[in-house]
Structure 1
């Protein structure tokens, strides 16, 4: 005996049937990896605070002339009339006032606020450009070594070992002593900035190169790489179209952690007198000048706090970004 057929009720609109069956249930929407990472990052309040501070510092560096015009004065301008001739210290101890928010330097009376603001330009510019150079070289050589392996990997790995053992600080000091006032069509501060970017960026690439090489060694055994090879894809295509997109997360994370290291290194070079030359303000140079006036703490406090806040903000943001982009995180 044949089972009766189920005849749909004519009173029910077929178009509304799915809505009736799923009444009260919200539609499920897919989320990309970027959306998932952003949701994780938003939950990390400390990382968001670090990111906001980083954005603030970048804006300060970009709009330094406007800030100085509104709240300070020319960072190279002397105010000898505000300096006590007997102690060479600012009158009143620090010189802090409505016109000089961070006080005055001893001896010459230059405005500390203006010099800290303009110092952000030098420190962040060198740190960003040096990081970009390190990431570009390290990524290219790291992914090449990891993908091709064999002799290529051996040569690049040995080059990494040589660069990691190189006495970078001594080399920077020696280079600063022999570099002329003009070279390669550059002069003055532009030449010094280019030299620092080259020294810091070119000799720091092995750090990120090792990370990229290790990730590439893991990726080249994955199925999508084997599939690309089986379809006849050549090495450059596999590297740039298949592997590099999967290396964006570790590269981005390490870049945010490399920038504060470069800020510290630039400050150290300026502190030793081999960075950008005076009277151009730098945070490290200001700390070097402040060492002679240890009895006037505000002179050292403000550039030191600028370095501390910058490094801390980048580190907090980098840690949060690492957790957000970690596929194993919950």
Structure 2
């Protein structure tokens, strides 16, 4: 009878550290658990680092352009061969011919554009500012509209749910690209107190945000339908809480994770949409730097100046890939079915 009594006693001496570890894990918040999972995801972390660097580049674009290049709209005609528009290998000796690397040097880190000789590095960093501005603001508009209407549809149900759901179906069936081309193409020079590219950016934000909200609206509606049947919502009902309290204090905090994750996946889609419109010539007007506009100009010189096509194309590719990897990492980190 002594052996069975000794085993629990020894386990009692051996278990406090395990119990402390278990209690520490149990006391961690969802954010702490998600952060630990995300740190172990090297691909997601790499995407997050690139996203952070892109944001810093966009914010510090004027400073970076002054340090490592020249103003984005400054022409360097003395470095351009007048007949072909290519960048000279040696401006002091035009007989040296065209530089296949586009004039990459310590003064121009990514070379120069053909014909006009604008600094590619400066236009890339300013293009990052344009793309991230349009995509981020449009995503914010999309998230606000989709979250509000999704919660209203999922929580109240009935004819409200039917009306909002049918509106979602209509917006999802709308030919957004054709509408954007038609609308941006007829935008006047000034309206609503805005002029020029300021007005065009506002129109792009409106089109992308207003017509893309059903995607996140459907996700929020589905999550709300599930959450409103949970025990904590029923407990709030039994305590006499009103609809506003339940929506803002009980349901909305539990929706922040899917909203955050979907937002990071929506931003690259909006970047591609803005680049597509600029590529088609109905987005941001020149001379304002945009990656899509740079690609549009580069198509005429892809045989003689391939760097002019590759550099803005890589900028779009790296940005979209980084946001997608970052969003996938966040989704896995906040997934309750993931192992700790």
Partner of 2:307: 298
Cα separation, partners in 2 of 1:149 and 1:98, compared to 1, 3 Å: same
Partner of 2:35: 38
TM-score after normalising by structure 1:
0.92
CA distance in 1, matches of 2:81, 2:65: 25
CA distance in 2, matches of 1:327, 1:84: 61
CA distance in 1, matches of 2:307, 2:110: 8
Q: Structure 1 residue 53 and structure 2 residue 62: aligned?
A: no
CA distance in 1, matches of 2:73, 2:13: 75
Find 1:253's aligned residue among 261, 264, 274.
261
Deviations 1:48-92 (Å, cap 9, x if unpaired)? 110000000000000000000000001111111111123211112
CA distance in 2, matches of 1:214, 1:31: 27
More helix by share: 2
Using the TM superposition, give the Cα deviation of residue 21 of structure 1 relative to its aligned residue in structure 2, in angstroms: 6.2
Cα separation, partners in 2 of 1:234 and 1:266, compared to 1, 3 Å: same
Deviations 1:108-153 (Å, cap 9, x if unpaired)? 1111111001000000000100000000000000011011111000
Using the TM superposition, give the Cα deviation of residue 240 of structure 1 relative to its aligned residue in structure 2, in angstroms: 1.1
Cα separation, partners in 2 of 1:221 and 1:280, compared to 1, 3 Å: same
Deviations 1:10-58 (Å, cap 9, x if unpaired)? xxxxxxxxxx968973734221111111100000011111000000000
What is the count of residue pairs matched by the alignment?
A: 311
* Residue aligned with 1:25, SS: helix
Q: Structure 1 residue 25 and structure 2 residue 17: aligned?
A: yes
Using the TM superposition, give the Cα deviation of residue 257 of structure 1 relative to its aligned residue in structure 2, in angstroms: 0.3
Using the TM superposition, give the Cα deviation of residue 247 of structure 1 relative to its aligned residue in structure 2, in angstroms: 0.7
Find 2:330's aligned residue among 318, 321, 326.
321
Partner of 2:91: none
Partner of 2:283: 275
Q: Structure 1 residue 133 and structure 2 residue 118: aligned?
A: no
CA distance in 2, matches of 1:291, 1:25: 65
CA distance in 1, matches of 2:182, 2:244: 39
CA distance in 1, matches of 2:13, 2:174: 70
5+ residue gaps, structure 1, are 1-19
Using the TM superposition, give the Cα deviation of residue 193 of structure 1 relative to its aligned residue in structure 2, in angstroms: 1.0
CA distance in 2, matches of 1:23, 1:280: 66
Partner of 1:191: 199
CA distance in 2, matches of 1:229, 1:304: 54
Find 1:113's aligned residue among 102, 106, 121.
121
Q: Structure 1 residue 102 and structure 2 residue 110: aligned?
A: yes
CA distance in 2, matches of 1:170, 1:207: 19
CA distance in 2, matches of 1:257, 1:52: 16
CA distance in 2, matches of 1:189, 1:63: 21
After superposition, where does 1:82-93 map in structure 2 within 5 Å? 82-91=79-88, 92-93=99-100
Q: Structure 1 residue 68 and structure 2 residue 51: aligned?
A: no
Cα separation, partners in 2 of 1:88 and 1:251, compared to 1, 3 Å: same
CA distance in 2, matches of 1:49, 1:70: 26
For the aligned residue pairs, the C-alpha RMSD in angstroms reads: 1.4
Find 1:312's aligned residue among 309, 321, 330.
321
CA distance in 2, matches of 1:284, 1:88: 21
CA distance in 2, matches of 1:210, 1:25: 46
5+ residue gaps, structure 2, are 1-11, 89-98
CA distance in 2, matches of 1:170, 1:25: 64
Cα separation, partners in 2 of 1:180 and 1:229, compared to 1, 3 Å: same
Using the TM superposition, give the Cα deviation of residue 275 of structure 1 relative to its aligned residue in structure 2, in angstroms: 1.0
CA distance in 1, matches of 2:244, 2:322: 37
CA distance in 2, matches of 1:286, 1:309: 16
Q: Structure 1 residue 264 and structure 2 residue 272: aligned?
A: yes
